[in-house]
C-alpha cells in the first residue's frame, strides 16, 4: 500500500508536523528524551510514524545529529520489522487490567538487542479505568531502559494523572497545500498520470490526513489515468460547477432555478446529505473569501476551476452569505430522506434574504394611536418614518426608496394620491408596553407557544436607540431568555414590529413582597390553603430544597389541605 511504502523513514520526511519534529530532535541532541510521551491528534497525521522514528532514533548507533541513519543494524532491523525491543500494543483490542499487568511483568526485562525498549500504545484512550490505574505507577517510574509512547485521537478521555506524567506532543491537521505537494511527488515517483485538479480534490477530501490522501490516490490510480471526473465518481461527490449553479440561483433570488438545479444534481445518484455538506463547504469558502482570508487557508488551489466563480459569488457580501449558511446548517430531516429538508433550506435562504431586504417597509403593521409622538417627547423617542433599507455599501436601496420619493413628489405636486405607509411601533417604552401582546403574538409565530409563555412573565422596562431592556422576576426565566436561539427569536419579533434591528437585554427584577394576611401568608380557597411564602411552609415542606427553590426562583405557590 502506498501509505506504507511512503511512510517516512527519517524526520525530514515527516509532513506538516515540524513543531513535533523540532522538539524531538532537540531532545535527542541533548540526550534528554522523556521516559513517557503522549502523541495526540487527528487520525492519519503521523503519530505512529513519529513514534517509530523516535524508537529508531534513540537506539540508532549512527553519527550523532544524523539519527536515525537507516544504515546501522538496529535501524535496518526496525525497518524490516525484526526489532524485538519495539513493542506496539493496540489498546482498542487490549483494554483490560490483565493486559496492563502482563505489560508490567515484561517491562522489567532488559532489551534484547537495543539500548531502549520502546512501548507504543495506540488508541490508549480505549483502556479501562482499572487498566489506567494499573498503568499509572509504571508510567510514573518506569525502568531506565523503557520509553513509553501513548498515541490517541481523543486525549480528553485520558485521566489527568496519566497526561501529567507524559511529555505531550500535539499533532495537527496537515495543511492542504502540503498534502497536494506530497501526493504530487508520490504520483510522479510512481509514474502515475494524474490531473492537477484531481490531486486537489483528493487532498481536500482527505481532510488533513495524509494517510487518507495516499489511500485514495492508490484507489483511483488502479484503473489508469486519474481525472477529476474519476475522483468525483469514486468519492460520490458532485462537481463544483453544479454547486455554484445552485448558489448563483440563490444569489439571483430565483426559487425555481435553484430547485431545478438541485434536482439535476440529485438525479446523478448523489445523496442529498452529501450535497448539503458540499454546499456548506462551498459557502464556508465563499464567506472566508468575502472576509478577506487569503486563498491558501481556504482549501482551494489555483488548479481548481471553481476559484474564479467562487470569488465572484463572495461579492454578495458577508451578511447574505451568512444567512444562506445558517439556513443550510440548520436543515432538519423531513420524512425519510434529506431532500425535502435541503429544498426547504434553499427556499428559506432565498425568502429569508428577501425579508431581510424589505422588512423595513413590509413588517407586520401595528395599530397605534393616531397622534404621532414628537421627537422631543421623551429621551428615547424616534421618528415614525420607516427606516430605509441599505445595500452592502451603506447606500439607500433604490427599490425600497422609490415609494417614499414618489410620495414626497406627490406631496409637492398635490395632484396625486399619496402612498399610505402604515407606521411601525415607535421605539418608546409606553408604546412597547401597550403593544406587548403584539410582541407575544409575533414570538409565538416564530418560536412557539412555550417561548410565548416564557415571555409572558416579562415586561419591558427601558428602551433606547439600541436595545430593549426586559425585566423578569425569576432567575430561571432570565437564564432561558439569555439563550442565544431564544434571544434571536425575540429580537426578530421586536425588529419586525419596530422596523429596525434591536437588541434585547434581560434583567432580574426584585419581586414585590406579599403582605402577610390574617392566615399567616396563606390564602384560603374553600377548604384548601395556598401558601405563597417559604417562611409559612409546614416544617416537613420547609426542609425540602426542591420546594423552596420552586417558590423562591420560579414563584410557585403550595396548596395544602386544611
CATH of the domain at 65: 3.40.50.300
> Which pLDDT value is given to residue 51?
94
Q: For residues 146 and 207, state if they share a domain.
A: no
- Extract the C-alpha cell encoding 135: 498503568
3-state secondary structure of 135: helix
Q: Where are the extended beta strands (E) located within 131-211?
A: 146-152, 167-170
For residue 390, what pLDDT is reported? 44
Query: Is the pLDDT at 397 greater than 80, yes or no?
Result: no
Q: Between residues 379 and 127, which one has the greater pLDDT?
A: 127
pLDDT in tens, 448-480: 877 887 788 788 888 877 788 888 877 777 888
Domain boundary among 235, 252, 272: 235
* pLDDT band at residue 391 under the 50/70/90 scheme: very low
Residues 71, 22 share a domain: yes
The predicted-structure confidence for 306-338, as pLDDT tens digits, reads as follows 677 888 888 888 888 888 888 888 765 444 457
Query: When comparing pLDDT for 377 and 67, which is higher?
Result: 67
pLDDT in tens, 267-295: 876 778 888 888 888 888 888 888 877 65
Q: pTM for this one?
A: 0.58
Domain presence at residue 497 = no
Q: Say yes or no: 145 and 185 in one domain.
A: no
Percent of the residues in the chain that have a pLDDT greater than 70, as a whole number: 75
284 plus 160 within the same structural domain: no
CB–CB of 214/186 below 8 Å? yes
Query: pLDDT band at residue 557, thresholds of 50, 70 and 90?
Result: low
Could you tell me if 223 and 118 lie in one domain?
A: no
Grid coordinates given for 389: 433599507
Q: Which three cell numbers stand for residue 513?
A: 413582597
Q: Is the pLDDT of residue 65 over 60?
A: yes
The verdict on 295 and 207 lying in the same domain is no
Q: Which of 359, 391, 409 is the last residue in one of the domains?
A: 359
Please give the backbone phi and psi of residue 89, each rounded to the nearest 5 degrees, phi first: -120, 130
Query: Sorting pLDDT into bands at 50, 70 and 90, what band is 56?
Result: very high
- Residue 27 cell numbers, joined: 531532545
- pLDDT at res. 78: 92
Q: So what's the pLDDT on residue 55?
A: 93
Q: Is the pLDDT of residue 361 over 50?
A: no
Residues 193 and 93 in one domain: no
Instruction: Give 47's pLDDT tier (boundaries 50, 70, 90).
Output: very high
Cell 405563597 sits at which residue? 532
Question: How much of the chain exceeds pLDDT 90, in percent?
Answer: 23
CB atoms within 10 A of CB 479: 14
Q: What is the mean pLDDT of the chain?
A: 77
Residue 537 — very low, low, confident or very high, per pLDDT cuts 50/70/90?
confident
Query: Which of 145, 170, 195 is the last residue in one of the domains?
Result: 170
Per-residue cell: 498: 419596530
The residue segments making up the domain with residue 193 are 176-235
| pLDDT of 555 strictly over 50 | yes
> CA–CA separation, 562 vs 528, rounded Å?
5
In the chain, how many domains are there? 4
Residues 221 and 280 in one domain: no
36/118 Cα distance (integer angstroms): 10
Half-sphere exposure (Cβ direction) of 414: Cα atoms closer than 13 Å: 1
- Read off the pLDDT of residues 143-167 as tens digits, 9 standing for 90 and up: 999 999 999 999 999 999 999 999 9
DSSP per-residue string spanning 35-75: SEEEEE--TTSSHHHHHHHHHHHHH--S-TTS-S-S-SHHH
Strand partners, 118: 86, 147
- Helices 339-362 and 398-413 cross at an angle (nearest 10°) of 30
The whole-angstrom separation of Cα 92 and Cα 95 is: 6
Note whether 155 and 17 are same-domain residues.
Answer: yes
Mean pLDDT along residues 235-257: 85
Contact between 404 and 421 under an 8 Å Cβ cutoff? The reply is yes
User: Contact 313/251 with Cβ under 8 angstroms?
Assistant: yes
Predicted pLDDT of residue 505: 84
What residues contact 562, with CB distance under 8 A and at least 6 apart? 524, 527, 528, 529
pLDDT of residue 546: 60
Who contacts 124 (Cβ-Cβ below 8 Å, separation ≥6)?
Answer: 91, 150, 151, 152, 158
Residues 323, 183 share a domain: no
Per-residue model confidence (pLDDT) at position 385? 37
Cα separation, 511 vs 84, in Å, equals: 75
* Together in a domain, 249 and 191: no
Least confident of 59-73, 99-113, 395-409, 508-522: 395-409
pLDDT at 98: 86
Q: Which three cell numbers stand for residue 494?
A: 421586536
CATH of the domain at 207: 1.10.8.60
Here the cell at position 450 is: 412555550
Closest CA to 529 of 520, 542, 541: 520
pLDDT of residue 560: 63
Is the per-residue pLDDT at 387 higher than 60?
no
End-to-end CA distance of the chain: 83
Q: Which of 360-364, 470-474, 546-550, 557-561 has the highest mean pLDDT?
A: 470-474
Task: Check residue 72 and give its pLDDT.
Answer: 92
Amino acid at each position: 500500500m502506498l501509505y506504507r511504502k511512503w511512510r517516512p523513514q527519517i524526520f525530514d520526511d515527516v509532513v506538516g508536523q515540524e513543531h513535533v519534529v523540532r522538539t524531538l530532535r532537540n531532545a535527542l541532541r541533548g540526550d534528554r528524551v522523556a521516559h513517557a510521551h503522549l502523541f495526540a491528534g487527528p487520525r492519519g497525521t503521523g503519530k505512529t510514524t513519529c513514534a517509530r522514528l523516535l524508537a529508531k532514533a534513540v537506539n540508532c548507533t549512527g553519527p550523532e545529529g544524523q539519527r536515525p541513519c537507516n544504515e546501522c543494524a538496529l535501524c535496518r532491523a526496525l525497518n524490516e520489522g525484526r526489532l524485538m525491543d519495539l513493542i506496539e500494543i493496540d489498546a482498542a483490542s487490549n483494554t483490560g487490567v490483565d493486559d496492563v499487568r502482563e505489560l508490567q511483568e515484561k517491562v522489567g526485562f532488559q532489551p534484547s538487542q537495543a539500548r531502549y525498549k520502546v512501548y507504543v500504545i495506540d488508541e490508549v484512550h480505549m483502556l479501562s479505568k482499572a487498566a489506567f490505574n494499573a498503568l499509572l505507577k509504571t508510567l510514573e517510574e518506569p525502568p531506565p531502559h523503557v520509553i513509553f509512547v501513548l498515541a490517541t485521537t481523543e486525549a480528553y478521555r485520558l485521566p489527568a494523572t496519566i497526561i501529567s506524567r507524559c511529555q505531550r506532543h500535539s499533532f495537527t491537521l496537515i495543511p492542504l497545500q502540503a498534502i497536494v505537494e506530497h501526493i504530487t511527488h508520490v504520483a510522479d515517483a510512481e509514474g502515475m498520470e494524474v490531473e492537477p485538479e484531481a490531486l486537489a480534490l483528493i487532498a481536500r477530501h482527505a481532510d488533513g490526513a495524509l494517510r487518507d490522501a495516499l489511500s485514495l490516490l492508490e484507489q483511483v490510480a488502479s484503473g489508469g489515468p486519474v481525472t477529476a471526473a474519476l475522483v468525483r465518481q469514486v468519492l460520490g461527490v458532485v462537481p463544483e460547477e453544479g454547486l455554484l449553479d445552485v448558489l448563483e440561483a440563490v444569489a439571483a433570488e430565483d426559487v425555481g432555478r435553484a430547485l431545478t438545479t438541485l434536482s439535476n444534481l440529485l438525479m446523478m445518484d448523489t445523496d442529498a446529505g452529501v450535497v448539503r455538506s458540499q454546499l456548506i463547504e462551498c459557502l464556508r469558502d465563499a464567506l472566508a473569501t468575502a472576509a478577506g482570508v487569503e486563498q491558501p487557508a481556504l482549501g482551494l488551489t489555483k488548479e481548481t476551476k471553481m476559484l474564479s466563480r467562487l470569488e465572484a459569488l463572495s461579492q454578495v457580501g458577508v451578511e447574505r452569505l451568512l444567512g444562506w449558511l445558517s439556513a443550510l446548517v440548520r436543515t432538519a430531516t423531513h420524512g425519510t430522506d434529506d431532500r425535502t429538508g435541503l429544498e426547504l433550506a434553499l427556499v428559506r435562504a432565498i425568502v429569508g434574504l428577501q425579508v431581510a431586504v424589505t422588512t423595513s417597509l413590509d413588517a407586520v403593521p401595528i395599530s397605534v394611536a393616531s397622534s404621532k409622538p414628537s421627537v422631543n417627547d421623551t429621551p428615547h423617542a424616534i421618528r415614525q418614518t420607516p427606516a430605509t433599507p441599505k445595500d452592502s455599501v451603506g447606500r439607500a436601496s433604490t427599490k425600497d426608496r422609490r415609494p417614499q420619493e414618489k410620495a414626497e413628489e406627490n406631496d409637492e405636486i398635490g395632484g396625486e394620491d399619496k402612498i399610505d405607509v402604515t407606521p411601525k411601533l415607535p421605539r418608546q417604552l409606553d408604546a412597547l408596553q401597550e403593544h406587548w401582546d403584539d410582541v407575544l403574538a409575533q414570538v409565538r409565530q416564530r418560536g412557539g407557544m412555550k417561548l410565548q409563555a416564557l415571555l409572558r412573565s416579562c415586561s419591558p422596562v427601558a428602551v433606547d436607540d439600541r436595545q430593549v431592556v426586559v425585566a423578569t422576576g425569576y432567575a430561571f426565566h432570565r437564564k432561558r431568555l439569555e439563550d442565544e436561539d431564544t434571544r434571536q427569536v425575540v429580537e426578530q419579533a421586536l425588529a419586525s414590529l419596530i422596523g429596525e434591528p434591536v437588541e434585547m437585554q434581560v434583567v432580574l427584577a426584585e419581586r414585590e413582597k406579599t403582605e402577610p394576611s390574617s392566615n399567616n401568608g396563606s390564602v384560603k380557597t374553600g377548604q384548601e390553603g395556598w401558601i405563597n411564602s417559604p417562611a409559612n411552609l409546614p416544617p416537613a415542606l420547609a426542609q425540602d430544597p426542591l420546594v423552596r427553590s420552586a417558590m423562591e426562583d420560579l414563584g410557585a405557590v403550595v396548596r395544602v389541605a386544611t
